[in-house]
Structures are given as structure tokens and as C-alpha cells.
């Protein structure tokens, strides 16, 4: 079984996340993409404005109609800083026969040397690197030779822009799943 691991803060999850995840799944012939909302990302300084469980619930709403997507609350249940190697260890216990593909953006490849146990990560998973707006060409990094680079549509939507739009009272229609937009409104998030 070939499973993609797609982690992030998803604060909030948006249509761009879904488009690139499905694109990678299709290109690599993966059976599922597992979304892993982080509890506390170790390399992000900004604090999340939605609680971890709210971000998990928004991912759930975003992917509910796609049988090729799943969401796990591994990092939320574990609490503390969310390290990819710990998540990979847990996923290996859940799916011992699976081959895992860690999906990251080109910008994450630059930070990869600072991740916890990067060499161990690479011994356990295939590293898949997507282009990102502003990062169209494969970057040279000490870990580039271990990566498979995939081209996905450059969807220039960011969670921070969505939060900013909400704070300004602007629409987020078509940027997030309609059920996520309702959830944000009902919970009064990002105001």
C-alpha cells in the first residue's frame, strides 16, 4: 500500500491544499493521502489562531467527500511539538505493510536539515517535494538528491491570507470548502 503523508498546520485548510494533494496522489499512484494536522509545529513562530482540534475538524470537513483522503489526529493526540519522525513511527505501527511518501513543499526542503532526525526520516519514507509559488525550480540542498520533485499547479492561496481576509470582513468563498467557511463563521474563528 502506497500512502502519502501530508502534514501542516491547516489553519485553515484551503482548496490549494486539496488540489496539490490530489495532484501528487494521482502522479505517484498513491492509494491514499493522509492529512496530519500538527499540534504545535516546531519551526513556526506564529501561534495558531484556531485550536488544534478545530483545525482537525476543518480538515475533516474539507476531505469528507474524497475517498482517497484521510485525516489522522496523531500529532494532536500526542500534544507538544509535532515532529515528523515521531509521526512516521506511529504511522508505521498503524500501517506496517505500507510504503510512505512524505509530501513537502519546496520551501520546506530548505528547512529540512533543521528537522528532527532528517536522515532517519529519509531511511523510512520517500521524500516528495512539490513546487510552490516563488519556488518553481528544484532547489539545491544537501537532501535534494533524496527527493522526487513533482510539479503541481501553483495555487497562490495561503492560510495566512485567508485569516487576514476574515479579520478584514472580506469573503473567503471559493478559497476553502463551503463547510469550512460555515464552520469558521459558526465558531467565530480568525476575527
pLDDT for 53 equals 97
Domain residue spans in the chain? Answer: 2-156
Give me the phi and psi of 33, to 5 degrees please.
-110, 125
pLDDT at 138 > cutoff 70: no
First-to-last C-alpha distance (Å) of the chain: 42
Model confidence at 136, in pLDDT bands (50, 70, 90)? low
pLDDT for 44 equals 62
Cβ within 8 Å of residue 60, ≥6 positions away: 71
H-helix or E-strand spanning residue 86: helix 84-94
* Residue 10 and residue 17 in contact, taking contact as beta carbons nearer than 8 Å: yes
How far from the centroid of its chain's Cα atoms is residue 174's Cα? 19
* Residue 82 and residue 9 in contact, taking contact as beta carbons nearer than 8 Å: no
Dist. CA 98–CA 94, nearest whole Å: 9
Average pLDDT value for residue range 86-115: 95
pLDDT at 133 > cutoff 90: no
pLDDT for 160 equals 94
Average pLDDT value for residue range 78-91: 94
Model confidence at 124, in pLDDT bands (50, 70, 90)? very high
Does 2-156 carry CATH code 3.40.50.620?
yes
pTM: 0.94
Q: What's the whole-number average pLDDT of the chain? A: 93
Average pLDDT value for residue range 93-117: 95
pLDDT at 46 > cutoff 70: no
Amino acid at each position: 500500500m502506497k500512502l502519502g503523508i501530508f502534514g501542516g498546520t491547516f489553519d485553515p485548510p484551503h482548496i490549494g491544499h486539496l488540489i496539490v494533494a490530489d495532484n501528487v496522489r494521482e502522479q505517484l499512484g498513491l492509494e491514499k493521502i493522509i492529512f496530519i494536522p500538527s499540534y504545535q509545529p516546531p519551526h513556526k513562530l506564529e501561534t495558531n489562531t484556531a485550536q488544534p482540534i478545530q483545525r482537525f475538524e476543518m480538515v475533516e470537513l474539507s476531505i469528507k467527500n474524497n475517498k482517497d483522503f484521510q485525516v489522522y489526529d496523531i500529532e494532536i493526540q500526542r500534544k507538544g511539538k509535532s515532529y515528523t519522525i515521531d509521526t512516521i513511527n506511529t504511522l508505521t505501527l498503524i500501517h506496517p505493510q505500507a510504503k510512505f511518501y512524505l509530501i513537502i513543499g519546496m520551501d520546506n526542503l530548505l528547512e529540512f536539515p533543521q528537522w528532527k532526525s532528517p536522515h532517519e526520516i529519509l531511511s523510512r519514507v520517500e521524500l516528495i517535494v512539490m513546487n510552490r509559488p516563488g519556488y518553481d525550480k528544484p532547489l539545491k540542498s544537501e537532501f535534494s538528491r533524496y527527493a522526487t520533485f513533482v510539479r503541481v499547479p501553483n495555487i497562490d492561496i495561503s492560510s495566512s491570507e485567508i485569516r487576514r481576509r476574515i479579520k478584514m470582513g472580506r469573503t473567503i468563498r471559493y478559497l476553502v470548502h463551503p463547510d469550512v467557511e460555515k464552520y469558521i463563521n459558526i465558531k467565530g474563528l480568525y476575527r
